[in-house]
């Protein structure tokens, strides 16, 4: 049995992303380097021992859970073994994300001179897109007149809708006309007509941040964090933010409530009126 091929085949059948499939393959490869047995001879004890060794090496709870999910997928879903691996490791406490104020967002935009580069960064922020989603946008995914677009096969291989800001509609139309793009083209292409790399966009943001005098350690994802936090400031509900960002769980979106929490310090406690 070709283990890696079996994982890829079953992963594709379940419409897992290529990133998830590769992660599962790597985890299983590492497991079988230690346990040189036939897969059907692996026991639940072997798996527990393997995960405990990872914990002893101070691997994070998130990492151990990825290994656990990989092993469950292979042994339970592919081999059909009744392992009942109901083990859970505590996740690493999530740090509050770095965000930019609205004033810093304006300064960041102003520091970008190239019109295409500026539009990319504005769209990244204004729609709360992941950078991988931005570079894979195609003209056919956009409903500019109606003010929305679609992310195709985003994180978790899912489609979702995103908003197109009114202030960007005409800029996007002009960009498409100037670049002579058709509906099957990527929205953002280099001079060689290839889609932009994620690294290129990361460099644009870092360069603009330096020029704008922003001393925070920011990345492409900082704009997504900032977008979500600014939505909370506007009074958008947690459920709405979860849908807009494409989060699987409301707990993931909850962090933006915590980011906004310093604003809550202005609220008086009812005890003060007793």
The verdict on whether 210 is a catalytic residue reads: no
The verdict on whether 224 is a catalytic residue reads: yes
The verdict on whether 130 is a catalytic residue reads: yes
Please give the pLDDT value at position 220: 92
CATH number at residue 33: 1.10.150.130
Please give the pLDDT value at position 88: 65
CA 259, CA 228: separation in Å to the nearest integer? Answer: 10
Please give the pLDDT value at position 182: 86
Residues contacting residue 128 through CB under 8 Å, at least 6 positions apart: 162, 224, 227, 228, 231, 244, 245
Q: Which residues of the chain have pLDDT under 70?
A: 1, 85-94, 154-157, 248-274
Please give the pLDDT value at position 270: 46
- Together in a domain, 106 and 46: no
- Together in a domain, 61 and 171: no
Please give the pLDDT value at position 118: 96
Among 72, 130, 175, 225, the one annotated catalytic: 130
Average pLDDT taken over every residue of the chain: 84
Please give the pLDDT value at position 205: 96
For residue 60, the enclosing domain spans 3-78
Q: How many domains does the chain have?
A: 2
Among 22, 44, 155, 211, the one annotated catalytic: 155
Helix (H) or strand (E) holding 272: none
CATH number at residue 157: 1.10.443.10
Q: Where are the beta strands (DSSP E) in the chain?
A: 142-143, 148-151, 160-163
């Amino acid at each position: 049995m070709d283990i890696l091929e079996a994982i890829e085949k079953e992963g594709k059948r379940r419409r897992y992303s290529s990133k998830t499939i590769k992660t599962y393959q790597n985890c299983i490869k590492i497991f079988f380097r230690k346990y040189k047995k036939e897969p059907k001879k692996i026991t639940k004890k072997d798996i527990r021992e393997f995960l405990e060794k990872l914990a002893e090496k101070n691997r994070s709870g998130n990492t151990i859970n990825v290994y656990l999910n990989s092993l469950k997928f292979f042994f339970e879903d592919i081999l059909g073994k009744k392992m009942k691996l109901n083990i859970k490791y505590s996740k690493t406490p999530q740090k509050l994300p770095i965000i930019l104020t609205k004033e810093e967002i304006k300064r960041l935009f102003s520091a970008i001179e190239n019109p295409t580069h500026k539009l990319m960064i504005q769209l990244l922020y204004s729609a709360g897109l992941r950078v991988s989603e931005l570079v894979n946008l195609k003209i056919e995914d956009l409903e500019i007149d109606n003010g929305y677009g679609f992310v195709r096969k985003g994180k978790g291989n899912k489609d979702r809708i995103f908003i197109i800001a009114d202030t960007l509609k005409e800029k996007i139309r002009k960009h498409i006309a100037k670049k002579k793009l058709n509906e099957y083209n990527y929205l953002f292409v280099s001079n060689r007509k290839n889609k932009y790399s994620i690294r290129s966009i990361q460099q644009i943001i870092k360069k603009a941040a330096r020029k704008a005098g922003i001393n925070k350690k920011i990345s492409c994802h900082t704009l997504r964090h900032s977008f979500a936090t600014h939505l909370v400031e506007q009074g958008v509900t947690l459920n709405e933010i979860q849908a807009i960002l494409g989060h699987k769980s409301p707990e993931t979106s909850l962090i933006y409530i915590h980011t906004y929490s310093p604003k809550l310090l202005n609220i008086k406690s009812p005890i003060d009126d007793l």
